[in-house]
């Protein structure tokens, strides 16, 4: 469904993606793991046309996306649930959903989809006319997912939906992901929370410093010794947990950050 | 009592003009999060183009009005391209974009719009070097009477136009899908990109509309006076800024309330203390808005994205 080939994106002279190749299959949840700064969000912004890549190609159902505007890419059926939600803070919940359907012209369909979103996310229904900026983090995440779904995407991109949320809310978000998958929505998920991702995804990629360093099934991921220690938090007996002192995580996360172990992954 | 009512009525009617000029300024700020200092000069140069047509070719009122609006839109495009488009471009496509107005480039935009202000004003003065320049007049000799109160029909018309425009625009912003997309772009640029909105185009259209509106405001105001002077640009900027800030920059209805409040305060202050009082009222109100304690709790409403 989605085929990414040798994709490279830079911020000025700093190359954030150094030739990334991966694929996401229709009907599957594909998960991209990686530490902070690996280039995961850059990849997402490149896929959605916000950032222009230096080279490489992104094929979505055979159609090249590189060079197209974000608006065209949304119209083709790709929608991103961005990192940190990015809801419209001074628009109401209902208006956020309306904005998500910007590329659609079928008003009747939009209205019934809004009702469907409220049925799926009852907490949003209670806050229909509330400004999105006043919602809790978890509610904003649900709104961000609902807003993306309003464009009726064929592939839903999700950039770290669990970041900054309480464990209970994270579980709720992943329940939604499972539900969407069961309904046949194809999902490309970026995560740091490998434990939760293992429960929903059918294929995994690991990204490290702008490159893909691992590709495999959940079983292969769970059996990989380095990933075990970096992402699933199992320490070798001779190792001291070095996380709190060295890992300067810019965003709070309920799960351990993998930076401390990241150098080992690079040496594979 | 009659005097008090008359002053209030005069103030409300004057406030209509302030609301109109405040509206354009509020819209540009609300969609770009940049203060356009060349706003008054744009309206002035456009008005001078209209006055020039009137003086040189005895153009009729409708043609003058049309010229002023078109000229304001074109000059606005020039201002936007020079001062605002570039300071936008750098942030439009990066993660930093969501924090609109927090990138330091607003200072660059502010300074360059000041430079363009000077340039436009000089152009206007070169076009018509005299201090007083004739502008078509719609002023009527006969005042209307409402019991003891006197109303100038042309001024009343302006105030009604301002009210209708403001409330109409507010309703459009609140109810229509196009209005929603405009608010969404002003609210969060990156998110607007992500839902597929043509952010750059919406911004340019918004800027052009705000400039056309400033042209309309300038025409309406000058039609009452029948003349235009080089002070007009400064007047538009100052009164517009105070009216817009009173109502909260970015708010459409706020510009109306701000304009009316400014008009009424000025009218009463002038009756009490003369011309000095009028100026004092303007700045005192601005000062109050900026330091008022109640703002502390709602500081985000002092400036915000375009909203009804």
Inform me whether the C-beta atom of residue B191 falls under 8 Å from chain A C-beta atoms: yes
Find the CB nearest B184 among A74, A79, A91.
A91
Q: What's the pLDDT at B301?
A: 60
Which is it for the CA torsion B202, B206, B207, B209, positive or negative? positive
* Token pair of B213 as six digits: 């509106």
Interface of B with A in 154-183 (CB under 8 A): 177, 180-181, 183
How far, in whole angstroms, is CA A180 from its chain's centroid?
A: 14
Task: State the smallest CA–CA distance between residue A112 and chain B in angstroms.
Answer: 17
Tell if the CB–CB gap between B93 and A50 is shorter than 8 Å: yes
Task: State the smallest CA–CA distance between residue B306 and chain A in angstroms.
Answer: 10
Averaged pLDDT for residues B280-302: 71
Residues of B in contact with A52 (CB under 8 A): 93
State chain B's maximal CA–CA distance in angstroms.
Answer: 62
Q: What's the pLDDT at A254?
A: 44
State the pLDDT confidence band at A56, using cuts at 50, 70 and 90: very high
A249: nearest Cα among A144, A138, A175, A160: A160
Q: What's the pLDDT at A130?
A: 93
Q: What's the pLDDT at B40?
A: 93
Question: Is the model's pLDDT at B92 over the cut of 70?
Answer: no
Q: What's the pLDDT at A14?
A: 86
Q: Looking at the whole model, is its pTM more than 0.95?
A: no
Inform me whether the C-beta atom of residue B33 falls under 8 Å from chain A C-beta atoms: no
Percent of chain A with pLDDT over 90: 57
State the pLDDT confidence band at B295, using cuts at 50, 70 and 90: low
Interface of B with A in 119-148 (CB under 8 A): none
Find the CB nearest B195 among A45, A51, A102.
A102
Q: What's the pLDDT at A256?
A: 45
Q: What's the pLDDT at B103?
A: 56
Question: Is the model's pLDDT at B95 over the cut of 80?
Answer: no
Question: Is the model's pLDDT at A261 over the cut of 80?
Answer: no
Q: Which residue has the higher pLDDT, B206 or B302?
A: B206
The CA–CA distances, whole Å, from B133 to A5, B14, B69 equal 66, 22, 18
Least confident of A34-43, A259-268, B253-262: A259-268
B281: nearest Cα among B51, B95, B64, B15: B15
Instruction: For B214-241, write each residue's pLDDT tens digit.
Output: 999 899 889 888 889 999 999 999 999 9
Residues of B in contact with A132 (CB under 8 A): none
Instruction: For B149-175, write each residue's pLDDT tens digit.
Output: 888 888 888 889 889 999 999 999 999
- What is the dihedral angle through the alpha carbons of B180, B185, B188, B192, rounded to the nearest 10 degrees? 90
A56 Rama sector, left if φ>0, alpha if ψ -120 to 50, beta otherwise:
left
Tell if the CB–CB gap between A88 and B94 is shorter than 8 Å: no
Find the CB nearest A70 among B98, B194, B307.
B194
Mean pLDDT of chain A: 84
Averaged pLDDT for residues B260-280: 91
Inform me whether the C-beta atom of residue A100 falls under 8 Å from chain B C-beta atoms: yes
Domains and CATH numbers, chain B: 2-302 (1.10.3470)
Question: Is the model's pLDDT at B90 over the cut of 50?
Answer: no
Residue with tokens 């490159």: A211
Least confident of A16-20, A162-166, A216-220, A233-237: A233-237
Q: What's the pLDDT at B51?
A: 94
Instruction: For A99-146, write each residue's pLDDT tens digit.
Output: 999 999 999 999 999 999 999 999 999 999 999 999 998 899 999 999
Q: What's the pLDDT at A100?
A: 94
Q: Which residue has the higher pLDDT, B187 or B70?
A: B70
State the pLDDT confidence band at A233, using cuts at 50, 70 and 90: low
Instruction: For A150-178, write each residue's pLDDT tens digit.
Output: 999 999 999 999 888 888 889 988 999 99
Percent of chain B with pLDDT over 90: 40
Find the CB nearest A71 among B177, B198, B307.
B198
Instruction: For A195-204, write each residue's pLDDT tens digit.
Output: 888 889 999 9
A71: nearest Cα among B41, B181, B113: B181
Tell if the CB–CB gap between B194 and A50 is shorter than 8 Å: yes
Is the ipTM value over 0.90, yes or no?
A: no
Averaged pLDDT for residues A22-38: 91
Task: State the smallest CA–CA distance between residue A267 and chain B in angstroms.
Answer: 30
Instruction: For B27-46, write each residue's pLDDT tens digit.
Output: 888 887 778 899 999 999 99
State the pLDDT confidence band at A32, using cuts at 50, 70 and 90: very high
State the pLDDT confidence band at B305, using cuts at 50, 70 and 90: confident
Q: What's the pLDDT at A234?
A: 57
Question: Is the model's pLDDT at A244 over the cut of 80?
Answer: no
Question: Is the model's pLDDT at A4 over the cut of 60?
Answer: yes
Interface of B with A in 62-101 (CB under 8 A): 93-95, 98
Count the Cβ atoms, other than its own, within 10 Å of residue A43: 30
SS3 letters across chain A: CEEEEEEEEEECCEEEEEEEEEEECCCCEEEEECCCCCCHHHHHHHHCCCCCCCEEEEEECCEECCCCCHHHHHHCCEEEECCCCCCCCCCEHHHHHHHHCCCCCCHHHHHHHHHHHHHHCHHHHCCCCCEHHHCCHHHHHHHHHHHHHCCCCCEEEEECCCCCCCHHHHHHHHHHHHHHHHCCCEEEEEECCHHHHHHHCCEEEEEECCEEEEEECHHHHHHCHHHHHHHCCCCCCCCCCCHHHHCCCCCCCCCCCCHHHHHHHHCC
B140: nearest Cα among B219, B207, B223: B223
Question: Is the model's pLDDT at B64 over the cut of 90?
Answer: yes
B222: nearest Cα among B167, B165, B158: B158
Least confident of B57-61, B91-95, B236-240, B246-250: B91-95
């Amino acid at each position: 469904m989605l085929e990414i080939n040798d994709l490279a994106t830079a911020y000025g002279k700093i190359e954030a993606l150094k030739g990334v190749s991966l694929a996401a299959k229709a009907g599957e949840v594909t998960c991209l793991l990686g530490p902070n700064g690996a280039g995961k969000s850059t990849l997402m912004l490149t896929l959605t046309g916000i950032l222009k890549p230096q080279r490489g190609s992104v094929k979505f159902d055979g159609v090249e996306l590189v060079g197209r505007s974000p608006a065209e890419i949304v119209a083709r059926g790709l929608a991103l649930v961005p990192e940190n939600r990015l809801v419209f803070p001074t628009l109401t919940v209902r208006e956020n959903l309306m904005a998500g359907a910007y590329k659609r012209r079928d008003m009747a369909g939009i209205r019934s989809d809004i009702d469907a979103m409220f049925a799926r996310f009852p907490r949003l229904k209670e806050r229909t006319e509330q400004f999105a900026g006043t919602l809790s983090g978890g509610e904003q995440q649900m709104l961000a997912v609902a807003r993306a779904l309003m464009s009726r995407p064929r592939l839903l991109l999700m950039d770290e939906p669990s970041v900054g949320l309480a464990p209970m809310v994270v579980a709720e978000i992943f329940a939604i992901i499972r539900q969407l998958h069961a309904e046949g929505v194809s999902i490309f998920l970026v995560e740091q929370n490998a434990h939760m991702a293992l429960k929903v995804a059918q294929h995994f990629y690991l990204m490290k410093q702008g490159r893909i360093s691992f590709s495999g099934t959940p079983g292969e991921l769970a059996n990989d010794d380095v990933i075990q220690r970096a992402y699933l938090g199992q320490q070798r007996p001779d190792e001291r947990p070095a996380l709190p002192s060295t890992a300067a995580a810019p965003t709070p996360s309920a799960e351990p950050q993998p930076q401390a172990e990241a150098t080992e992954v690079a040496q594979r | 009592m009659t005097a008090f009512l008359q002053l209030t009525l005069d103030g409300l009617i004057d406030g209509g003009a302030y609301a109109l000029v405040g509206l354009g300024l509020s819209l540009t700020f609300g969609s770009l999060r940049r203060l356009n200092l060349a706003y008054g000069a744009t309206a002035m140069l456009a008005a001078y183009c209209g006055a020039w047509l009137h003086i040189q070719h005895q153009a009729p009122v409708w043609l003058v009005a049309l010229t002023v609006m078109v000229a304001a839109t074109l000059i606005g495009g020039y201002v936007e391209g020079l001062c605002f488009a570039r300071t936008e471009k750098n942030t439009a496509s990066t993660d930093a974009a969501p924090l609109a107005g927090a990138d330091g480039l607003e200072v660059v935009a502010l300074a360059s719009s000041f430079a363009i202000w000077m340039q436009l004003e000089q152009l206007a003065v070169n076009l018509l070097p005299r201090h007083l320049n004739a502008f078509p007049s719609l002023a009527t000799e006969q005042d209307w009477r409402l019991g003891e109160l006197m109303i100038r029909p042309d001024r009343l018309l302006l105030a009604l136009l301002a009210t209708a425009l403001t409330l109409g625009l507010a309703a459009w912003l609140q109810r229509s899908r196009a209005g929603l997309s405009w608010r969404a772009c002003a609210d969060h640029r990156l998110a607007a990109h992500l839902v597929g909105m043509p952010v750059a185009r919406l911004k340019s259209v918004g800027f052009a509309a705000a400039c056309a509106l400033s042209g309309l405001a300038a025409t309406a105001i000058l039609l009452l006076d029948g003349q235009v002077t080089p002070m007009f640009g400064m007047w538009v900027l100052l009164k517009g800024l105070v009216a817009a800030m009173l109502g909260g920059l970015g708010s459409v209805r706020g510009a109306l309330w701000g304009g009316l409040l400014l008009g009424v305060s000025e009218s009463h202050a002038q009756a009490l203390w003369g011309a000095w009082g009028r100026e004092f009222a303007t700045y005192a109100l601005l000062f109050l808005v900026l330091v008022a304690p109640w703002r502390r709790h709602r500081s985000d409403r002092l400036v915000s994205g375009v909203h009804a």
